[in-house]
Structure 1
Amino acid sequence: MRRLPYAAFDLAVVLTGACVLLLFGLRLYGEQTLAQQADKLLLPQSTVLLAADGSVMSRIPIPGGGYRENAESGELPPLLLETVMAVEDRRFYEHKGLDYRGLARALASNVSAMRVEQGGSGITQQLARSLFLSRKQTVARKLKEAAIAMALERHLSKAEILRLYLNETYLGRGQYGVKRAAFYYFGVRDLKELTPAQVALLAGIPKGPSIYNPVDRPELAVKRMQEVLGIMKSNGLITAAEERRALQIGLHGAALSPGSAAEYSAAGYVDAALQEASARTGIPLAKLREGGYTVTTGLNPSAQRAAEAAFRNPANFPPDAGGERVQGAVVILDSRTGEVKAMVGGRDETGGGLNRAVSAARQPGSAIKPILVYGPALESGRFTPDSLLPDRPASYGGYSPGNIKGVYRGTVTMNTAVERSINAPAVWLLNEVGVTPALAFAAKLGIELPAEDRQLAIALGGTHGGVSPLQMAQAYGVFASGGRFSTGHLVREVRDGSGHLLYQCTPESQQVISARTAEMMTAMLVGAVNEGTGRKARLSGRMVAGKTGTTQLDIQGVPSAANRDAWFAGYTKGWSAAVWIGFDRTDRNHYMTDGGGTAAALFAAIMGPALNALP
Structure 2
Amino acid sequence: MAPRLFRWALFLAVWGLVAAFVAVIFFAWDLPRPEDSLITRRPSVTMVAADGSLLSTSGDLYGETVRLRDLPAHVPAAFIAIEDRRFRDHRGLDLVGLVRAMVVNVTAGRVVQGGSTLTQQLAKNLFLTPERSLRRKVQEALLALWLEQRFTKDELLTIYLNRVYLGAGTYGVDAAARLYFGVPARRLTPGQAAVLAGLPRAPSRYNPRVNPSAAVHRAVEVLDAMVETGALTAASAMVEAERLQFPRAPSRDAGWFADWVRDRIGDRAPATSDLLLRTTLDSRLQAAVEARLEAMLASQGRPAGVSQGAVVAIEAGSGAVRAMAGGRDYRASPFNRATQARRQPGSAFKPFVYLAAIEAGGRPDDMVSDGPISLGGWSPGNGHWRTRGEISIEDALAFSVNTAAVRVMQRAGGARAVAAVAQRLGLPGPFPRDASIALGTAEVTLLDLVAAYAPFANGGRRIAPFGVAEARAEGRPIAWLPPAPAPVITAEAAEAMRRMMGATVSRGTGRAAAVVGIVVAGKTGTTQDNRDAWFIGIAGGLVMGIWLGNDDATPMDGVAGGGLPARLFHDILDSQRGRGGE
Whether these two folds match at TM > 0.5 is yes
Paired residue for 1:395?
375
- Does the 8 Å CA contact 1:483/1:513 hold for their aligned counterparts? yes
Indicate whether 1:529 and 2:505 are aligned.
yes
- Matching residue's letter, 1:571: I
Report the secondary structure of 2:161's partner residue.
helix
Q: Quote the Cα distance in structure 2 between the aligned partners of 1:137 and 1:455.
A: 73
1:353 to 319, 334, 359: 334
Report the secondary structure of 2:527's partner residue.
strand
Paired residue for 1:271?
258
Paired residue for 1:567?
534
Q: 1:114 to 1:524 in 2, by over 3 A?
A: closer
Q: 1:161 to 1:605 in 2, by over 3 A?
A: same
Paired residue for 2:295?
313
Q: Quote the Cα distance in structure 1 between the aligned partners of 2:329 and 2:485.
A: 34
Q: Quote the Cα distance in structure 2 between the aligned partners of 1:253 and 1:407.
A: 69
1:493 to 449, 463, 470: 470
Q: 1:611 to 1:349 in 2, by over 3 A?
A: farther
- Once the two structures are superposed, the pairs formed by residues 172-571 of structure 1 within 5 Å of their partners are 177=172, 206-207=200-201, 210=205, 215-216=213-214, 218=216, 221-222=219-220, 225-226=223-224, 229-230=227-228, 232=229, 246-254=233-241, 256-261=243-248, 267-268=254-255, 270-271=257-258, 274-275=261-262, 278=265, 281-283=268-270, 291=274, 293-297=276-280, 299-301=281-283, 303-314=285-296, 319-320=301-302, 326-350=307-331, 353-371=334-352, 373-381=353-361, 385-389=365-369, 391-396=371-376, 399-404=378-383, 412-432=391-411, 433-450=413-430, 453-463=432-442, 466-498=443-475, 500-503=476-479, 505=481, 508-552=484-528, 562-571=529-538
Deviation at 1:247, TM superposition (A): 3.0
Identity %: 35
Paired residue for 1:49?
48
- Does the 8 Å CA contact 2:49/2:283 hold for their aligned counterparts? no
Indicate whether 1:594 and 2:554 are aligned.
no
Q: Quote the Cα distance in structure 2 between the aligned partners of 1:92 and 1:112.
A: 24
- Matching residue's letter, 1:543: V
- Does the 8 Å CA contact 1:534/1:600 hold for their aligned counterparts? yes
Paired residue for 1:557?
none
Q: 1:170 to 1:544 in 2, by over 3 A?
A: closer
Paired residue for 2:576?
610
> Gapped runs of 5+ residues in structure 1?
553-561
- Matching residue's letter, 1:595: A
Paired residue for 1:37?
37
Q: Quote the Cα distance in structure 2 between the aligned partners of 1:212 and 1:158.
A: 28
Q: 1:71 to 1:365 in 2, by over 3 A?
A: same
Q: Quote the Cα distance in structure 2 between the aligned partners of 1:541 and 1:492.
A: 30
- Matching residue's letter, 1:527: A
Report the secondary structure of 1:216's partner residue.
helix
Paired residue for 1:127?
122
Aligned length: 570
- Does the 8 Å CA contact 2:44/2:58 hold for their aligned counterparts? yes
Map Cα deviations across residues 406-426 of structure 1 (whole Å, 9 max, x no partner). Answer: 976665543343233222332
Q: Quote the Cα distance in structure 1 between the aligned partners of 2:494 and 2:562.
A: 24
Deviation at 1:86, TM superposition (A): 7.0
Deviation at 1:565, TM superposition (A): 0.4
Deviation at 1:549, TM superposition (A): 0.8
Report the secondary structure of 1:74's partner residue.
helix
Q: Quote the Cα distance in structure 1 between the aligned partners of 2:104 and 2:292.
A: 62
- Does the 8 Å CA contact 2:53/2:179 hold for their aligned counterparts? no
Q: 1:493 to 1:402 in 2, by over 3 A?
A: same
- Does the 8 Å CA contact 1:385/1:415 hold for their aligned counterparts? yes
- Matching residue's letter, 2:48: L
Deviation at 1:366, TM superposition (A): 1.0
Mean CA deviation greater in 434-443 or 10-19: 10-19
Deviation at 1:121, TM superposition (A): 2.9
Deviation at 1:368, TM superposition (A): 0.5
Report the secondary structure of 2:238's partner residue.
coil
Q: Quote the Cα distance in structure 2 between the aligned partners of 1:108 and 1:545.
A: 74
Deviation at 1:361, TM superposition (A): 0.8
Paired residue for 1:169?
164
Indicate whether 1:160 and 2:155 are aligned.
yes
Map Cα deviations across residues 502-525 of structure 1 (whole Å, 9 max, x no partner). Answer: 235477433322333333333332
Map Cα deviations across residues 135-192 of structure 1 (whole Å, 9 max, x no partner). Answer: 3422232233234334434543443223222333356787754566778899997879
- Does the 8 Å CA contact 1:184/1:258 hold for their aligned counterparts? no
Q: Quote the Cα distance in structure 2 between the aligned partners of 1:536 and 1:75.
A: 51
Deviation at 1:567, TM superposition (A): 0.8
Map Cα deviations across residues 88-134 of structure 1 (whole Å, 9 max, x no partner). Answer: 55665676544467667878999999998876433322222233334
Paired residue for 1:556?
none
Report the secondary structure of 1:328's partner residue.
strand
Paired residue for 1:60?
56
Report the secondary structure of 1:548's partner residue.
strand
- Matching residue's letter, 1:251: M
Paired residue for 2:24?
23
Q: Quote the Cα distance in structure 1 between the aligned partners of 2:439 and 2:364.
A: 20
- Matching residue's letter, 1:582: G
- Does the 8 Å CA contact 1:582/1:592 hold for their aligned counterparts? no
Q: Quote the Cα distance in structure 2 between the aligned partners of 1:188 and 1:252.
A: 20
Q: Quote the Cα distance in structure 2 between the aligned partners of 1:57 and 1:113.
A: 40
Q: 1:171 to 1:484 in 2, by over 3 A?
A: closer
Q: Quote the Cα distance in structure 2 between the aligned partners of 1:603 and 1:120.
A: 59
- Does the 8 Å CA contact 2:44/2:60 hold for their aligned counterparts? no
Calculate the aligned-residue CA RMSD, in Å: 4.6
- Does the 8 Å CA contact 2:88/2:153 hold for their aligned counterparts? yes
- Does the 8 Å CA contact 2:524/2:536 hold for their aligned counterparts? yes
Q: 1:331 to 1:108 in 2, by over 3 A?
A: closer
- Does the 8 Å CA contact 2:373/2:403 hold for their aligned counterparts? yes
> Gapped runs of 5+ residues in structure 2?
1-5
